[in-house]
Amino acid sequence: MRRALYAGSFDPTTNGHMWVVQQGARLFDELIVIVGQNPHKKGAWTIAERVAILKECCAQLRNVEVRHFDGRYLVRVAAELGARYLLRGLRNAGDFAYEQTIANVNRDLEPQVETVFLVTPRELAEVSSSTVRAMVGFAGWQDVVARYVPSAVLQRMKAEAP
């Protein structure tokens, strides 16, 4: 069985994240999506809220499971869960440089776990959670943000917007 992990903060989940999840579901027998907290970022939603939203977004993907991440090295979690692959999405050269460094460190820690990179389509290359969060609050933000996030995320954002 080919099992992969795809991890992120997903705060909020974007269409770019969902593209990677959909491709991972197609490429692997099982994809575990791990929601974590980046200690260098202040999250808008709790991990439990992000897990719930991602489960809703992934409901139609039978071979995708969503879990939370407790702060251990992801590559060690992958090894413990029997996942041989870490799935990562790349939007640009900056992402590649960062992800290549992490992949090399992960290989040092767990040589049997490979990192697989997927290059996102051009129309999703500029989408990031930070950018989406920065768009909220301006006049007409709902129409703009709707282009970049799944409907479950947009509905949640609308419900919480001032």
**Predicted pLDDT of residue 18:** 98
Catalytic residue among 41, 72, 147, 158: 41
Catalytic residue among 9, 50, 129, 156: 129
Ranges of each domain in the chain: 3-125
Whole-prediction pTM value? 0.94
- Per-residue pLDDT tens digits for 126-139: 889 999 999 998 99
Mean pLDDT of 50-77: 94
9 annotated active-site: no
Mean pLDDT of 146-159: 95
Mean pLDDT of 86-109: 96
Mean pLDDT of 73-102: 96
Q: Per CATH, is 3-125 categorized as 3.40.50.620? A: yes
128 annotated active-site: no
Q: Is the pLDDT of residue 4 over 90?
A: yes
**51 DSSP assignment:** H
Mean pLDDT of 69-94: 94
Mean pLDDT of the chain: 94
SS3 content of the chain, % helix, strand, coil (to 5): 45, 20, 35
C-alpha distances out from residue 38 to 10, 64, 146, 156, Å: 10, 22, 25, 21
Catalytic residue among 9, 17, 50, 88: 17
40 annotated active-site: no
Binned at pLDDT 50, 70 and 90, residue 54 comes out as very high
Q: Is the pLDDT of residue 28 over 80?
A: yes
- Per-residue pLDDT tens digits for 30-46: 999 999 987 777 778 99
91 annotated active-site: yes
Please give the Cα distance from 105 to 74 (Å, whole number).
11
Catalytic residue among 3, 55, 91, 133: 91
Binned at pLDDT 50, 70 and 90, residue 109 comes out as very high
